[in-house]
Amino acid sequence: MSFDNVFDAFGGFGETPVFFFCDHATATIPREFHNLGLDERFLRTHIALDIGAKDLTLSLAEAFRARAVCSDFSRLLVDPNRAMDRDDHIPAVSDGIKIPGNVGLSAVEREERIQRFFEPYHLALAEEIDTARRIYGNPLVVSIHSFTPRLHTDKEDRPWRIGVLWAHDEPTARAFITALQGHDPGQPIGNNAPYDARGFNYTIDRHIKPLKLPHLTLEVRQDLLLTGAGVAAMSRLLAAAIGDLMERETV
């Protein structure tokens, strides 16, 4: 099974025992898929990737001189953070937008997507996590996502700047929220919002839960990550809170 063109790895394994990854880093769709029948403009929106999440992941990895892994295919081809039995694993519709190239796929076509993109990404990520464990023993694993300020199908804006999702490691999540509030007082923080990781967080469920590693899943509102300055400011904030968390040895 080839890992070509499914992920990128950045940085090295430095002194700080932390490892970052980003499931929805790019909107890359190979030419033969013809943009899944979508107008190009949709590939620049949240349905195709987590806007700003890759830049934030790399900025955080640089701050800690840490290793980071990012996917290199659009979530519209196959979503690496969705279980294979979910309708949105290969979505026919995303936030009200029909994805023509995903409609009526045969079982063979679905399996081809899984074997070309989904499984190679997860096998590569597993190897990277194993390396981090060999080096650090018990690293903090941080998953980075971003969320749209408002879904097309919603009537209200989402109020949070940052969401902290948890299912298997509530103590680390709550300790991080406390640390974050110390650096960003008064700002609403999504506690298992805008998504609830107890409902789904496939990559963490697959790789991190069985190993019982300390971990965080962070969601950042996309309008805060549209510029280099915005990414840098958010990176400083999150790095400060992660640093506090690790200094307190809560993980």
User: pTM value?
Assistant: 0.95
Please write the tens of the pLDDT for every residue from 154-180.
668 889 999 999 999 999 999 999 999
Residue 3 in this model has a pLDDT that exceeds 50: no
What domains are defined for the chain? 7-247 (3.40.630.40)
Please write the tens of the pLDDT for every residue from 137-150.
999 999 999 999 87
- Alpha-carbon Rg for the chain, nearest whole angstrom, is 17
Q: What is the pLDDT of residue 4?
A: 61
Please write the tens of the pLDDT for every residue from 79-103.
999 999 999 999 999 989 999 999 9
Tell me the mean pLDDT in the region 102-108: 97
- Adjacent-strand bridge partners of 97: 94
Residue 43 in this model has a pLDDT that exceeds 80: yes
Contact 175, 211 (CB under 8 A): no
